[in-house]
Amino acid sequence: MPELPEVESVRRGLMAARISAPIAAVWRSEHALRMSGDLAALIGARPGAVGRRGKYLLWEMDAAGEALGLLVHLGMSGRFGVARPSDPRVKHTHFVLRLEDDRELRFVDPRRFGGFLVGAAATLKGQPPLAGLGPEPLDAGFDGALLAARLGASERCLRDALLDQRAVAGVGNIYAVEALFLAGLHPLTPARALRASAWARLAEALQRVLNQGIASGGTTLKDFRNVTGEVGRGQDDLKVYGREGEPCPRCGQALRGFVHGGRSGVFCPSDQPRRQIR
């Protein structure tokens, strides 16, 4: 599933495409998406700034002075592309916004776990799913103390706690596993066991791996593509995720895999010792 760096890469791609012509028409496939709304309300609206909150995009639209919003979740395999109306639509295209400048914005989602909502921008910002999200890990003021306040009392293991979007917005399995390695913390350590110094290391590690992911254009393990159809380069930077059995880049010991809560992960048994809790 696209995480914060992948969604941020899509946001930047949409802004770089300079999509500002009014929406002339909309099209939807007959297939249901996990989240869907009334795209027809966008006809005549002029696209504006594209924002991101966690793993969601919020595209602001000006509809005759009314501030509308298009809330988008990419799901497991959703992606945007800009095309001409004469270009063939690829398989699994599920909605299209026709613009007055003779371009189309197309949403492709093979697995159909993504989707969209349309409404007043202020309403979308103030209700679920956006209203329930935790702090942005790349915002000013995000540090170990804030992370400890959100997760320090949790009985969950660290990796699982970091995936809670109500605690920290935008972090998924890939970047959680990478950050825990960078911070030298075992992914199955209970969150309540950490001291202030460990929370500070973890907050810094999260910011480092997320910023690296953005700089690399996101991570493509299978489906992710940016707005121009290119894959990300973040997979080349991964230190442990997906590298079970390979030598640790720090100490050379074989990396070890685990499965917890239905999600897999990887850690170094030497550099990420599991803390014993009495």
From 187, 189, 182, 202, select the one nearest 276 (Cα to Cα): 189
Q: Is 55 designated active site?
A: yes
Q: Is 263 designated active site?
A: yes
Question: Which residue is catalytic, options 46, 55, 150, 159?
Answer: 55
Q: At what angle do helices 196-215 and 173-183 cross, to 10 degrees?
A: 130
DSSP 212-247: HHHHTT---SSS---TTSPPPSGGGT-SSTT-TTSB
User: Distance of CA 28 to CAs 6, 95, 242, Å?
Assistant: 24, 4, 36
* Cα four-point dihedral sign 249, 253, 259, 261: negative
Amino acid at 230: E
Question: Which residue is catalytic, options 263, 269, 274, 275?
Answer: 263
Pairing between β-strand 66-73 and β-strand 46-53 as defined by DSSP bridges: unpaired
Question: Which residue is catalytic, options 3, 8, 104, 178?
Answer: 3
Question: Which residue is catalytic, options 2, 5, 47, 137?
Answer: 2
Exposed, middle or buried by CB within 10 Å (0-12, 13-18, 19+), for 191?
A: buried
- Active site members: 2-3, 55, 263
